Structures are given as C-alpha cells and as structure tokens.
Structure 1
C-alpha cells in the first residue's frame, strides 16, 4: 500500500510532517534495521516497493533527528515505508515547474546533478574507496613542500590513530551494525567475528576514536533546527549523518541508520572533510598535491609506456607548467590533468551557481590540456621530445565523480570547446582503466572518444564492462596490505570490481 499512498507529487513540508508524526526513539531503530538489511548496493531494489534505499533512509533519519520529538506516536514498519514513499514522491525543484529563486535554466542538467549527488555515494566500490585512503595519505610521496601533511604526526593529530587503524575502526562499526540490525553496543566489541581486527587495534582506542569522530547524540543533530526549513532543495543539502553516522541517546544502544555513511566517513572524501574542518585550505592544497602524485602512480601501472611529469617552460618572463602527466604511446599522446576538487553544494543542488562552480573547477583543466596540445603542435623546445605527428587526446582525472561533466550541453554552458578529444573521469574509473588487459589502453581511449554514440558519456560503464579483462590494481593491493588486521568473514562486500 505504501507505494501507492503517494502516487502524486509531494511537497517537502508534507513529507517532513509525515516523518514528524512519530517519535525518533521508535522510528530510528526501524530505519537502522532496514539500512542494515539492504546495505549492499542494489539489494535495496528488493526492499518493499523499492522504497528502502539508503538515500531515502538517510533523509528520513535526518528529518526525525533534527525536527522530531518524543511527544508523538510510536512508529511501526508501515510508517517507515510510508515516510520513504513520501520521500520518493518529493517534487523536483525544476522538473515540477516550481523552481525557487536560483534555479538553473538547464532543467535536465540540474536534475541529473541532484540525483547523482543523492545516490552515487551509495553505489561506489568499497574496495576502491577504502584502499584509496591509505594509497593516497599513507603511501604517496609529495614532490612539493607540504603545509600540514609534511608533519609526520599529522595523522595522529587529526584522527588519534593511524590510517589503517581508522579504516579498521570503521570496519568494526560497519560489521557490527550489519550483523545486529543497525545497532551498535561497545560490549559487542568482544564478538569473535571481530577478533581479526580487535587483536590488532586496542578496544580502548576503538572506543575513543568512535566517540571523537563517528558518534553524536540527538542534541548535535538538533543544532540544525534554526536553519531547517521545508524547501524543494533541502534534501540535497548536507546531512549531518555524513559527519556523525552513529547516533547515541535514542535508546540503550547506539544506532547506525545507514551503514554506507560509515564507509563515506573513512573514504578519502570523508577524510578530506575531517582535515579541512581542522586545517582549512592548507590541508586541501596538500591533498591536491598528493592526489596528483597518486594519479601518476596509477598511470605507472600501464604497461609499455613512459609516464612523463609536467613540463616547466617559460612564456616571456613567466614560468608556466604543462598538464600534470604526459604519456606517449605508439599511436597516441595522452595529456592528463589532475583535479582534486569535489562537487560543492551548489553543484549538488544543481542550481544556477553550479555552472560557475564547475567552470572554476574544470574549465582550467580543459584549458591546460588545450595549451599543452598547442605547445606540442608548435614544437616548443621544451616539448620537442613528444612527436608532433601523433594524435593527441586528453583525460581530466577528478578525485570524486563529477556527474555529467562530459555532456555537450554542460560543456557549452561552461564555454568549454576542447581542441582535442577529452574526457573527464573519476579516480575509481582511472583505477579500473589502467588495469585493462584485453585491449591496449591508448586504443581503448581513442575508440571511446571517437565513438559518436558515446558523446557525453563517462568511462564508468565501459571500464566496468563484464566482458572486459582486468589485472589486479597493484597500487590498491599494496594499500590493502597495510591493513594488517584481518577481514571479518562473510561480513564484507569487497571484491575488486
């Protein structure tokens, strides 16, 4: 019945009202149980009426925690289904024709930006995301001086533990939550299933790090109340569960409403936000340098090609730099520019400002590729080692996924018209691309960029094609080896995809 209860458009105030009918102490345990049951990507399609998706559950939990109170009726399972059904029927700010001030003129692009920001985080590979944390922050050396991360004690100052311990503690929380219906009690740290981790990480340290970084009580979430107002865009704004995915004070046990948010917390993106909150742009600049070198390490996995770093040249009195990496294959020269940028809130909301934000983050990368290509074409002395006669293609690698960054309409809106075929890809796409074995990578990229049926596509589907052969990603394998604690049996979804 829940699927048909809202077979119409629902406004945010009606949806919030539906959630607020019930006490947080009765609704949050139901959310946590559903979150634990359907945590593996795509299993939520088997939930009743396909409504118990992690993004639905995360927002229902947020609304209840921020604006609910204990002077309401207790919730039952049907109430959770109906709340999630109401969320699924929320009107889109632009597609509904009810765009508020600041809505963009490109309706479809705005819609896709919002949906991608809402859902993609729950569909990423755990093996890639969590291996990348150590690969970037523990195992990649900078080529330039660092502001914060050059201090050997930065990890301890930020997290109170090492990177491998931090990942392991996240695994502990995730494993307990999935096994115990979204509940977390520290007494359960003695569970034998966790012995491979707790034998390596002291239980007291586990408790301290959880308290400092993962957990908050109801009062923390209710700090959002003064700014919490119904709006067509509200559900795409920052959810405080992303920063504190464990909730205390609701019952006699802690609750993990959405296990996927534990993974986000210990991913490079989660660590970026933790570090940025403490050190600001000094930290983000350092991460940019490490990520650039990390991309170079990934490119080094490509067989039979020399990966060349950026070229420093002069233009008049000014010192200039080329793209970050240049690869010369037998049949093509690949120009790679790296951007550690993440989609900001205007991009996640798909508002008018999104295009300015994306232009700032991506337009410079396109320009850098075009400039380097022209220098090669003009046979600038600093680029004479790169054959002019080779076709040239470009690749822009971003730390996080930038949805629809390859769409022609979006590029036109940004004023980007590349002089050579160029594609934007995420770090996860790159990690798969460099391990392709059934076709040489230059041929794969050249064919992909030349295919008229794939104009505007990302690499995502093609690099994940089940018919395609892949080697192991040695950089990520090396990172996982630093997690010296073992993996709990039958509790993880960790295949190398």
Structure 2
C-alpha cells in the first residue's frame, strides 16, 4: 500500500479548475492502471474517524469520483504513467474544482452548494458499524416484532438470494478480502485452506453470488450511469456513481476490483437496501419500511437507561375526523419530547440540489412539523385521548428522518419551514442511536439545552450531542452481536 505515498508532497497546486478539466486529468491514464492505484490510495486513507489530514489529502469521495470518470471516459490508449506524483495532481485537481453560481440560483447558492457537498462527503465519514447493525435491528428484528406486508424471510431470499444475515456476512467477507488485497477480489482466494471453516458460517455459494451481485463490467457500469436522471451541465460531479450499488468492477483479467473499498459494506445499509426493495416490491415495501422505522425509533428510545416514560401514537377524534398524533411522546420531569418519524429518502437530484429540491424538502419537513403542532394543540385543548401526557410542561419537537437531512437544522432550511411555538429539531436515525446511548438524565439535559441554544440548535443533532457521556446504543450492539463474526476476519478488518 506504500508505493503511491509520495503523492503527499510535491509542487504547490493550482487554485481552481472546472469539472471538465478534472475529467481530463483523469483521462490521462489507462483505467487498467489508474483504477488499481485509486483502490490502493483509498485504503491508505483508513476508516473513520480519519486521522490528520486524510480528508484533505485522500478524500474518499475523490477516489470514488475519479474511478467513475475513469470508467466512463477513460481508455487504454494513453501513455501517462500512474505515479505518486500523478495521483497527487489528480487529488489536488479534485480539491480545486470550482463552481460558479448561475445568476438564477444566486440567492440560494450557499444552501445548494452545501447540500451538494454534504451528500458528496458526509456518508464517507460515517462509521459502518451503525449502518450494518441498523439494517439488522430495523429490518430483521423489526419484521419479527410488528406486522409487515412483504418483508419476511422469503422476501430477503427473493431480493438478495439468501437470508439477510448470510448476505451481510458474505458482504463483510468481501470487504475484508478487498481490504487485504489492495481492493482486489479473486475467486481463487476462496480456495485457501485457512478459509474453509468459514463456510460453515457463511456458505461459499452465498459469497460467490454476492460477489456477482456487487460487480459490473465497464459496459454495465456505463449503462447504469445512463439509466438514472442526471443533474444539469456543470454539476456532473454530483451525478450518480454506480459504484454505490456495485462497488466491484470486472477488470480485463477477469478479477474484481473495488476502486473505493469503503463502499462494499454500505451495500447492506438500510439506504442501499431501500432502493433494491422498492425495485422489487414497490409501495408495500415502502409502507413496511415506514412502519418499521417508526417502531425502530421507539425501540431506540425505549433502550435509554433508566427506561423513560414513553407513549406511542394516539388515535383521537377532532370534530368528526379521526386523526393520529405524532409517533412517540417521551415524558421527562422537566419537558415532554415529541417525536414524529418520516422514512422518506432524499432523491438523487435532491442530493445534487437540482432546481425544486428546496420545495420537496420543505414539503416533507413541514408535514412532520404540522403533525407536531397538531399534537401540541391537542394537549393544550385537554383532548381526553391525551390525558396521560402532561400538558403543563415545556415541549420540544423532534422530526426524525429515515436518512440524514444534513442541513435540516441550518438557518437555510429552517427559514423555509413553518415556525412552531416550541423549539424543534430534526434528527436522523443515526442521531437517535447516539441519543439512545446516553443516560436518561443526559438525554433530558442535552436535548433541552440544544433545542434552546441559538447556535447548537442549528447543528446536526449528532454533532451537538456530548456523546462522550454515553456509550453505544444497546440496540445496535445486540444487532451486531447477532452475527457470528469469525475472529480471524474481524481481526483482519480492524488491523
């Protein structure tokens, strides 16, 4: 992994380039040489939390983008050699891409730019432990705890060819194999004597099938890129990267290469499984996931110690209409925290801040805020269905989203939303998981302080929380421990 490290030093870089100029830098090199070098460079950056200057010197999103452009636009009729210095030039070129705001977007340019950058960069900085554990706790455990339409064991076999637990294990195996071999996976690797006992835990056939599911030829990669909507000219940087769904490329010698190995395990995250489920089952899957997400939030909140006073959704009547309250009420000595859960996802074009994205974000979050306010009004009016919820305490509203809306608490987004008579925060499932690891008195203290702090209330909740006072969510830890991780592979992954 060391032969490209000299790229860290070199001449002063230039100040700004267009995306098309960056693409031309990538095209100087044969894909057969550049892609393996990018894989090696990606692994040199390690895993989050990143150390030192990794995010500026080896940004993981930069290697993924360079790999995408190499597959889409590169060819083997190039003479430039891939060296440490050429990689330094390439990464610096990425860091120097500059976007000039179009005149018609200038008013909302800062919000749009930060949205694009957040969805380009933040997912790579998130620990994979939560993503993998959440899939099991949310979709496997959850489906055994509440009624579902389609998401049972047979559905996972239909969707992935094997039970989700086996698929997660097989994906973890591929992650370790790629990390141990500079991004490469060769099926001959499965013949090693030391690995035979692992197949009692994770069937070899599932591993081989998973490798096929997660790989594509160059032609299939290009077709996948063309099959989805693209942002307008000038924003190609933020277009879909097929490596997210299929992180392995089938190289000319038949072996598989992951140019950005960090994407492998993310294919079993809830976000990745969501799109596969929607393609296969449609709206019944969406309804299942909505109900499972609401249940999951309650399970995380119920895991806080000592156990909080927690009340689920209330069905009540207002005039002649039947209505539903917010999803969860947490009654604490000094405050009532109200949680409204939305499982909707940020679309590809929304992540690229394409025109109209603010309207879609506004509509989704305001729908949740309206629900919070209606429930608060029902408390104020002494609606008898709410008699078990104290009406004499301050309230804090929390909108929980199925995936991060990274800028939801920022002034840019807050200015779009309906004002409420009580402080309101937006939180992702990851934020709720952090909250579940805190002692109950810290949950009360920190949520109230954050919600009423003019500055910290504009941060993402996960960043605003003092997580040092807590531990891992017990729900996530149980989900992780449900897998029979072989010690040899866990050791290899953490080495």
Q: Do both proteins adopt the same fold according to a TM-score greater than 0.5, normalized to the shorter chain?
A: yes
Change in Cα spacing, 1:8 to 1:231, as seen in structure 2 (3 Å) is farther
Whether the 8 Å CA contact 2:174–2:264 is kept in 1: the answer is yes
Kindly provide the CA deviation profile for residues 73-123 of structure 1, in whole angstroms up to 9, marking residues without a partner as x.
25412333222221111113xxx23x286x462222112111110111111
> Equivalent residue for 1:272?
274
> Equivalent residue for 1:198?
199
Q: Where does 1:94-493 land on structure 2 (aligned, <5 Å)?
A: 96-97=100-101, 99=102, 103=105, 105-141=107-143, 146-149=148-151, 151-191=152-192, 197-211=198-212, 213-223=213-223, 224=225, 231-302=233-304, 303-412=306-415, 414-437=416-439, 439-465=441-467, 468-487=468-487, 488-493=489-494
Kindly provide the CA deviation profile for residues 230-261 of structure 1, in whole angstroms up to 9, marking residues without a partner as x.
93211112101101101113444211111221
Whether the 8 Å CA contact 1:26–1:74 is kept in 2: the answer is no
Change in Cα spacing, 1:219 to 1:305, as seen in structure 2 (3 Å) is same
Whether the 8 Å CA contact 2:230–2:240 is kept in 1: the answer is no
Equivalents in 1 of 2:447, 2:195: separation in Å? Answer: 43
Whether the 8 Å CA contact 2:167–2:206 is kept in 1: the answer is no
Equivalents in 2 of 1:493, 1:461: separation in Å? Answer: 25
Q: CA deviation at 1:408?
A: 2.6
Change in Cα spacing, 1:233 to 1:125, as seen in structure 2 (3 Å) is same
Q: CA deviation at 1:15?
A: 1.2
Q: Secondary structure at the match of 1:491?
A: helix
> Equivalent residue for 2:35?
28
Equivalents in 2 of 1:261, 1:100: separation in Å? Answer: 36
Whether the 8 Å CA contact 1:65–1:222 is kept in 2: the answer is yes
Equivalents in 2 of 1:39, 1:251: separation in Å? Answer: 27
Whether the 8 Å CA contact 1:396–1:423 is kept in 2: the answer is yes
Change in Cα spacing, 1:161 to 1:55, as seen in structure 2 (3 Å) is same
Change in Cα spacing, 1:126 to 1:194, as seen in structure 2 (3 Å) is farther
Equivalents in 2 of 1:79, 1:425: separation in Å? Answer: 41
Q: CA deviation at 1:453?
A: 3.3
Q: 2:63 aligns with which of 57, 60, 76?
A: 57
Whether the 8 Å CA contact 2:338–2:398 is kept in 1: the answer is yes
Q: Secondary structure at the match of 1:271?
A: helix
Between 434-443 and 22-31, report the one with greater CA deviation: 434-443
Greater relative contact order (Cα < 8 A, sep 6+)? 1
Equivalents in 1 of 2:232, 2:244: separation in Å? Answer: 20
Whether the 8 Å CA contact 1:170–1:263 is kept in 2: the answer is yes
Whether the 8 Å CA contact 1:333–1:391 is kept in 2: the answer is yes
Q: Secondary structure at the match of 2:492?
A: coil
Q: CA deviation at 1:194?
A: 5.3
- With the length of structure 1 as denominator, give the TM-score of the two structures: 0.90
Equivalents in 2 of 1:386, 1:257: separation in Å? Answer: 53
Kindly provide the CA deviation profile for residues 432-455 of structure 1, in whole angstroms up to 9, marking residues without a partner as x.
112213843122211111123323
- With the length of structure 2 as denominator, give the TM-score of the two structures: 0.91
Equivalents in 1 of 2:59, 2:43: separation in Å? Answer: 11
Change in Cα spacing, 1:131 to 1:72, as seen in structure 2 (3 Å) is same
Change in Cα spacing, 1:6 to 1:193, as seen in structure 2 (3 Å) is farther
Q: Which has the higher helix share?
A: 2
Kindly provide the CA deviation profile for residues 322-357 of structure 1, in whole angstroms up to 9, marking residues without a partner as x.
001111112111110111122222331123312111
Q: Secondary structure at the match of 2:205?
A: helix
Aligned residue pairs total 483
Segments of structure 2 that go 5 or more residues without pairing to the other structure are 1-6
> Equivalent residue for 1:86?
93
Q: Secondary structure at the match of 2:299?
A: helix
Q: Secondary structure at the match of 2:310?
A: strand
Equivalents in 1 of 2:288, 2:347: separation in Å? Answer: 19
Equivalents in 1 of 2:338, 2:217: separation in Å? Answer: 49
Between 226-235 and 104-113, report the one with greater CA deviation: 226-235
Segments of structure 1 that go 5 or more residues without pairing to the other structure are none
